[in-house]
Amino acid sequence: MNTKRTITRATGVAAAVAVLLSGWAVYAERSDPTSAEEPAASEKTSDVVARVNGEAVMRAEVDAAIDALFGGQLAGLPEKQREGMRAQVTERVVDEMIVEKLLAQAANEQAVAVGDDEIQSSIQKISATLPPGKSLAEVATAAGTSEDALKSRLATSLRIEKLLGEKAGEVAKPTDEEVASYYEEKAELFEMPERVQARHVLIAFAPSDDADAKNAKRAKAEKVRAELANAKGENFAKVAAESSDCPSKERGGELGAFARGDTVPAFEEAAFSQEIGAIGPVVETDFGFHVVQVQKRDPAGKAPFDEVREMIAERMMQEKQQAAVAKYIDGLRADAKIDHPAKDAA
């Protein structure tokens, strides 16, 4: 099972959005977070794909989920290929439904509650994703279900999200020693190419400009360059704000750090060959005429620890939380009674 994908689908309003917009009506109607139902006497074994602590996963639910999640991809395939693809995704969808039912049952057993304000906030977020003029009630009707059923499904998703959030919150933050060890043991992740930090003034021209227009703009760029050179670049931010046609003018022409391949060739050549602090010659690209000043150059090598310390700590925390949630789900599965009646009868 792809636990990471299951965690993602089982948490947040994204799962609810998928339900609301896909027409996964059967699933919404049958999802009852308050109890694990005993199988109804009228249920046919062939209609029940799985039972999770007595709560049935119906074939109709699985088929509706597959159509909602993969229908667009399957529709364009030849029949034989479509049937094969459907068989492949069926097992995955069933497994994810089992996990969601386990989590919903656990949330119920632990009395995980969500307030009306939380539900209403999520409804507002979902409503914002609907087509203009469409209401939640209209989407529910089109899906063949009720607005209350969809809200109930949303409440279940929010309770699962809160449950998993609590489990993730139990994880201790990585220590300074763990972060440092990660940096040393996975050094290849922090290898950086040569980079420069630069700023520029752009005098833009249009493809439709004739020779006279381009010459006039080059002359303007040369004038800007001379002004900057005379002041040794100390007035760069002011001149960029007044004269540049690039959005970076709002930042004094600052482009930040970049590596080879991140910019057009002529600009790259200037940026990686100019002396630091110098006001270089006017450079022409497809965008126009540039006056460039290189502020800093970092050679290729391992990124300094202080620059990546926070990123490493965040990554390690995410990995720890994912592992904790996966372990929790595995525990629920191990303690549960999960039957596959159709398989067992075969």
Q: What is the rounded average pLDDT for all residues in the chain?
A: 85
Could you tell me the CA-to-CA distances from 153 to 104, 142, 146, 264, 281 in Å, in that order? Answer: 10, 17, 11, 50, 63
pLDDT digits (tens, 9 = 90+) for 19-31: 333 333 334 444 4
Residue with tokens 């097992």: 91
Q: What is the pLDDT of residue 43?
A: 55
Is the distance from CB of 57 to CB of 39 less than 8 angstroms?
Answer: no
pLDDT above 80 for 13: no
Q: What is the pLDDT of residue 336?
A: 95
Q: What is the pLDDT of residue 346?
A: 54
Give all strands (DSSP E) within the chain, no chain letters.
Answer: 48-52, 55-58, 191-192, 195-204, 254-259, 283-285, 288-298, 301-302, 338-339
* pLDDT cut 90: percent of the chain above it: 62
Helices (H), 110-209: 116-127, 136-142, 147-169, 176-185
Q: What does the block give as tokens for 201?
A: 């003034």
pLDDT digits (tens, 9 = 90+) for 314-345: 999 999 999 999 999 999 999 999 998 866 55
d(CA 210, CA 187): 52
Q: What is the pLDDT of residue 318?
A: 94
* pLDDT cut 70: percent of the chain above it: 85
pLDDT digits (tens, 9 = 90+) for 230-281: 999 999 999 999 999 999 999 999 999 999 999 999 999 999 999 999 999 9
pLDDT above 50 for 292: yes
Looking at per-residue pLDDT, the higher value among 13 and 218 belongs to 218
Q: What does the block give as tokens for 40?
A: 């109804």
Assigned architecture for domain 194-299: Roll (3.10)
Q: How confident is the model at residue 138 (pLDDT cuts 50, 70, 90)?
A: confident
Q: Centre a 10 Å sphere on the Cβ of residue 83 and count the other Cβ atoms it contains.
A: 12
Q: In terms of Cα–Cα distance, which of 46, 128, 52 is closest to 97?
A: 52
**Residue spans in the chain of domains classed CATH 3.10.50.40:** 194-299
Burial class (CB in 10 A: 0-12, 13-18, 19+), 284: middle
Q: What is the pLDDT of residue 177?
A: 96
Q: How confident is the model at residue 65 (pLDDT cuts 50, 70, 90)?
A: confident
pLDDT above 50 for 157: yes
d(CA 202, CA 194): 24
pLDDT above 80 for 110: yes
Least confident of 66-80, 301-315, 316-330: 66-80
d(CA 224, CA 201): 8
DSSP readout, 207-254?
Answer: TT--HHHHHHHHHHHHHHHHHHHHTTTTTHHHHHHHH--SGGGGGTTE
d(CA 240, CA 200): 7
**Residue spans in the chain of domains classed CATH 1.10.4030.10:** 3-173+320-345
Right CATH number for 3-173+320-345 from 3.60.70.12, 2.60.40.10, 1.10.10.10, 1.10.4030.10? 1.10.4030.10
Q: What does the block give as tokens for 289?
A: 């005429």
Q: What is the pLDDT of residue 16?
A: 38
Q: What is the pLDDT of residue 345?
A: 55
Q: What does the block give as tokens for 19?
A: 């339900």
pTM of the model: 0.62
Beta pairing partners, 197:
257, 296
pLDDT digits (tens, 9 = 90+) for 114-135: 999 998 898 888 888 888 888 8
d(CA 291, CA 278): 10
pLDDT above 50 for 33: no
